[in-house]
Structure 1
Amino acid sequence: MARFDSSPGKADSPDPRNTANAGTNAGKQRKRSRIVAGAGTAVVIAAAVVLIPLSLGSPTPAPPAPPASSGSAPASTPALTPAEVGPRVTYYAQPGPPAGSPLEKVEPLKVDVSSDLVGTALNKGTMGISLEATDLADPDLSSDNASMVKLLKELDQPVLRFGGNAVDRRFFWTSTGEAVPADYKGDKTHPVKAVGPADLTRLKTLLEAGDAKVTLTVDLGHYNPARAADMVKNASQILGDRLLSITVGNEPNGFVFNDVKTDGYSVDQYVRELKDYASAIYAVAPNVPISGPGAFDSKWWQPFVDADIPQKKVLTFHHYPLSDCDGNVPQDSPTMANLVSHTMHDRAIDYQKAALAVGRAAGLETWIPETGVSACPGSNETSRTHASALWAADYALTAAQLGITRVSFHSSLLTCKGGPPLSAICSAGTYPFGNGKMSGRANFYGISMVAELEAGKFLKLGSSGGGLAFNYALQHADGSTSVVIINENDPEKAEQTSVTLNLPGKPVTGTMTQLSGPSYAAEDQTVIDGVKSEPTPLAKRATVPGFAYKSGTQNFKLTAGTVTVLNFKY
């Protein structure tokens, strides 16, 4: 739905079209850790500890006494051995409800997980980060940057996508060291960058260290199929199977609105130029798929699907749900009320389904290589907030459950202070370029909760009550079940939600990890298991409070403003 470029994170950004949130307004675009550990391990915060058997269920009853002989005294009950008693187990200690709770009551949540499959899956590599094409020139994208490697590992085999507004304006590929042409224009915060084979070689070290893959975008704004083909040839040779696809241009449907093309640009012209680029690329790198059109206007999806090009194709679209920057369409404005609402959730489903229908009819995979809460320039009341973490987790799981196989959240390498406010990652140091020490914002941790889920197939479920809660379930290869409950009720006001969870089996273990924050608007206070890091490893997670051994029905409470992942083994 919008473009995302790296601009200052302030409301008076000098170039609103080049924002870190990447969009133009509706008028121009016409679019709308670890706090706990596992059994027998110490914890950082208080948690209940009880003795339970090795099965991690209820305390083992004493074995029955043998039958007494006629006329003799009954035999005594033997004492339990340490092996029968089992280890000490830590129950998960989540943040409590707000002081004075219940300020707002929440209807109890009932979730019934079926053994039937939805027909879609969550795989490793579904989650990703999108950056500007000019970021390829940044030396911080290297295995030498431990902070960047750490972030990639916390997303567990992610995809890095390079594109954004920069690619058709300020990105110049050269494999021969040519000077950048004079008609390429940039500014202090958004300089023109030349990128060459050495940059791709450096990028490969980062991809290998962080176990990530990549999709690249070639410049369509400056029409040059031969130059694009040279870039893809080098990328294919250097990056090998870590290169997933190439996109021709970024949001061509917006070329007229954002001044990439001042003399008009149509769908027909795009398809003609796409064919020229595809033909040139196929001649030197025939095995690299073309993904596209990467448009925020649904009218451009079908022409891309129908374009006669020799490569394998992937349908892609961009989506920034709250990008009415002028308030002309209230339900599309980037407000907190819109962000945490059933409407936001339901409209995302509708838009994603529309794209999937086009892709599936053609037998194509469908990706969202660029998304975020909003494409409006500067800060708004959703920026940097804990609520954006809740939204990111729900949006990603919705997309994956529907069948979208890649989702990348647009971000920036600029500074946390003064840089793009809706970027999922940012750099420490002085604005604008910082020192390259990267960290994740609230929405990054929402993405991490999804990325760290074990791969699995989505299970059908039914639910009722719970107020503003969204629920998902996965069946894993080992037969275990993960249930994700996104409790978007207000963490400052809502009481804990009483949950009744009916499972498709009788679990012998039940563990949890949880993302939490003190309020919707809290900035830089989102944590996972009490720390700013990825979820606790599955094998070390604490037990679900009140876990009922071998019971298909589990009852517990969840604090508002949380993303909770529960895992049950049978």
Structure 2
Amino acid sequence: MRPRTRAGLAVAAVAAIAATAAVQQAAHAATVQATVTVQLSGTPRGTLAEGHLGLSFESMPRTNDGGVNSGKFDARGNLPQLLRTLGPGTLRLGGNSVDRTYARATPAALQGLVRLSDATGWRYVYSTNLAHYDAAATTADAAAVRAALGPRLRSLVCGNEPDLYAANGYRPAGWTVGAYVAEANRCLAVLRAQAPGVPVSGPDTATPGWLPAYAGAQRGAVTLLNHHHYPLSNCNGPNGSATALIAKGKRADEARLVASAAATARGAGMRLVMSEVNSAACGGIAGVSDTYASALWALDYVFAGVANGAHGMYFHGALDRACTGYTALCETAPHQYRAQPIYYGLLLARLAGTGAVLPTTVSTAGNLAAHTVRGADGRVRVVLANMSADTVRTSLRAGDRTGAGSLLRMTAPSLTATSGVRIQGRTVAADGTFTPDAATPVTCTAGTCPVTLAPYGAAVVTLPS
């Protein structure tokens, strides 16, 4: 992630344009029909496993407000429960700041990470400084991290977005992927020596151009191919709106990007991890990234990622009070956080469960996302997300399933609402727990389940057994 910029007037202008567009869309709202077909016996597109969902944080923000050594990554306040509510996940520590002045985790920070992992079941991806590489410092840091975290580590990483090192002034113009691989290999060798048995991953690129060369060079040495993606940007002022974030064409572009990166990974015997993602680069766009639109986007992106070959997806954010950006958690008091809209999208994905993601097709003139999970419990759950201002009457077809199903709905006051997001009528409690109201019954007949989605409504439908 590139450093965030602030452009208040531009943000206000974008918000006004988005609001006008929303009014115009509401005036032309209609009811559209959709058919969603689940191939119950089809070959799974992928598997949504425990730990696939994750949150990503900066190692050392400029204020160190929420960095590795800030004392915030600990089993204190409501953070542990907010993580538990999302299920066992992955916490990635890295971002731009790891390559600025970050040197190592303190002993106190490492013990906090141990306590947080033990309280939540979350594991870590830990990054070291490559832009200002110091072999002795990396050796000491990797050894200490391995000794403290042990099995709580999912992988170790050298650096962040090396394809932007020249642009950021870390390397001269014309710096190549070959030069990067040579530098990375020295760092990776240290990580392997100091943390035997812990996977190493990379390259955590911002753009896909370097992935093929890196994957080819690291075949057999690196098992996880890390890549980043933001569909919108605020790096040179806000560029994008709430409706643009969830547009059908934008969603298709994102799916193709993941599929291409996943193919590169498979070709080198690796698995793709989207290790840093969110709605808009450089901290997000106020009025977009902090709104209900981000919840709809994240819900769809999680499953589209799995269906197109991703084996992990970590949503970038912060543990501070700058809450108009893309963070899932907003600090309200020391060690106390509020679930932001995007958190609800991740939570609804969690409520759909883990398991095989089945082939699912959508036929509609509208903008509807649909994904299906067959869980370890044998139940089949279909995720539906209406990305439009139209009401969508969905005919959900799933073999010969007949009988009583149920659904959980995600709602909000509007697409650009920054609060009031609910799942089945409930919000995440102040202590981080979540208990939805009773599920809504759905009757399926001869394999067809009727589900109506309000404008920008989403649901998880549990099919009859």
Give the TM-score normalised by structure 1.
0.72
Q: CA deviation at 1:267?
A: 1.5
Question: Do the aligned residues in 2 keep the contact of 1:325 with 1:376 (CA within 8 Å)?
Answer: yes
Question: Do the aligned residues in 2 keep the contact of 1:293 with 1:316 (CA within 8 Å)?
Answer: yes
Aligned partner of 1:423 in structure 2 is 327
Aligned partner of 1:207 in structure 2 is 117
Match of 2:171 among 243, 261, 270: 261
Gaps of 5+ in 2: 10-22, 61-66
Aligned partner of 2:87 in structure 1 is 156
Task: Kindly provide the CA deviation profile for residues 329-370 of structure 1, in whole angstroms up to 9, marking residues without a partner as x.
Answer: xxx932233113111110101111111110010111100110
Q: Does 1:470 align with 2:369?
A: yes
Query: Structure 1 residues 561, 399: CA separation in 2 closer, same or farther (over 3 Å shift)?
Result: same
Q: Does 1:170 align with 2:101?
A: yes
CA distance in 2, matches of 1:200, 1:311: 27
Aligned partner of 2:398 in structure 1 is 503
CA distance in 2, matches of 1:553, 1:153: 35
Q: CA deviation at 1:263?
A: 6.8
Q: Does 1:283 align with 2:158?
A: no
Q: CA deviation at 1:466?
A: 5.9
Residues 250-329 of structure 1 mapped to structure 2, 5 A cutoff: 250-261=160-171, 265-308=175-218, 311-323=221-233, 325-326=235-236
- Partner amino acid, structure 1, of 2:53: M
Aligned residues: 440
Question: Do the aligned residues in 2 keep the contact of 1:322 with 1:375 (CA within 8 Å)?
Answer: yes
CA distance in 2, matches of 1:497, 1:11: 37
Task: Kindly provide the CA deviation profile for residues 290-332 of structure 1, in whole angstroms up to 9, marking residues without a partner as x.
Answer: 11100012222123223358744310111011127558xxxx9
Query: Structure 1 residues 310, 458: CA separation in 2 closer, same or farther (over 3 Å shift)?
Result: closer
Question: Do the aligned residues in 2 keep the contact of 1:106 with 1:466 (CA within 8 Å)?
Answer: no
Q: CA deviation at 1:458?
A: 1.6
Question: Do the aligned residues in 1 keep the contact of 2:234 with 2:283 (CA within 8 Å)?
Answer: no
Aligned partner of 1:114 in structure 2 is 39
Aligned partner of 2:56 in structure 1 is 130
Q: CA deviation at 1:199?
A: 1.0
Q: CA deviation at 1:108?
A: 1.0
Give the TM-score normalised by structure 2.
0.88
Query: Structure 1 residues 12, 270: CA separation in 2 closer, same or farther (over 3 Å shift)?
Result: farther
CA distance in 1, matches of 2:283, 2:220: 38
Secondary structure at the counterpart of residue 182 of structure 2: helix
Q: CA deviation at 1:388?
A: 1.2
CA distance in 1, matches of 2:148, 2:301: 33
- Partner amino acid, structure 2, of 1:401: A
Secondary structure at the counterpart of residue 369 of structure 1: strand
Secondary structure at the counterpart of residue 554 of structure 1: strand
Aligned partner of 1:141 in structure 2 is 73
Question: Do the aligned residues in 2 keep the contact of 1:512 with 1:566 (CA within 8 Å)?
Answer: yes
Aligned partner of 1:352 in structure 2 is 258
Q: CA deviation at 1:380?
A: 4.0
Q: CA deviation at 1:403?
A: 2.0
Q: CA deviation at 1:520?
A: 1.3
Q: Does 1:542 align with 2:452?
A: no
Aligned partner of 1:564 in structure 2 is 459
- Partner amino acid, structure 2, of 1:543: T
Q: CA deviation at 1:140?
A: 2.1
Match of 1:105 among 12, 30, 38: 30
Secondary structure at the counterpart of residue 555 of structure 1: strand
Aligned partner of 1:11 in structure 2 is 7
Residues 489-500 of structure 1 mapped to structure 2, 5 A cutoff: 489-490=388-389, 494=390, 496-500=391-395
Deviates more, 1:227-236 or 1:308-317: 308-317
Gaps of 5+ in 1: 14-97, 174-194, 430-434
Aligned partner of 1:68 in structure 2 is none
Question: Do the aligned residues in 2 keep the contact of 1:392 with 1:446 (CA within 8 Å)?
Answer: yes
Secondary structure at the counterpart of residue 153 of structure 1: helix
Match of 1:388 among 294, 300, 305: 294
Structure whose alpha-carbon radius of gyration is higher:
1
Higher relative contact order (CA 8 A, sep 6+): 1
CA distance in 1, matches of 2:303, 2:89: 15
Match of 2:143 among 233, 252, 258: 233
CA distance in 2, matches of 1:456, 1:411: 26
Question: Do the aligned residues in 1 keep the contact of 2:201 with 2:226 (CA within 8 Å)?
Answer: yes
- Partner amino acid, structure 2, of 1:517: A
Q: CA deviation at 1:206?
A: 0.6
Query: Structure 1 residues 535, 498: CA separation in 2 closer, same or farther (over 3 Å shift)?
Result: farther
Q: CA deviation at 1:407?
A: 0.3
Question: Do the aligned residues in 2 keep the contact of 1:356 with 1:366 (CA within 8 Å)?
Answer: yes
Q: Which structure has the highest strand share of the two?
A: 2
CA distance in 1, matches of 2:7, 2:267: 42
Query: Structure 1 residues 498, 420: CA separation in 2 closer, same or farther (over 3 Å shift)?
Result: closer
Match of 2:308 among 382, 399, 402: 402
Residues 58-69 of structure 1 mapped to structure 2, 5 A cutoff: none
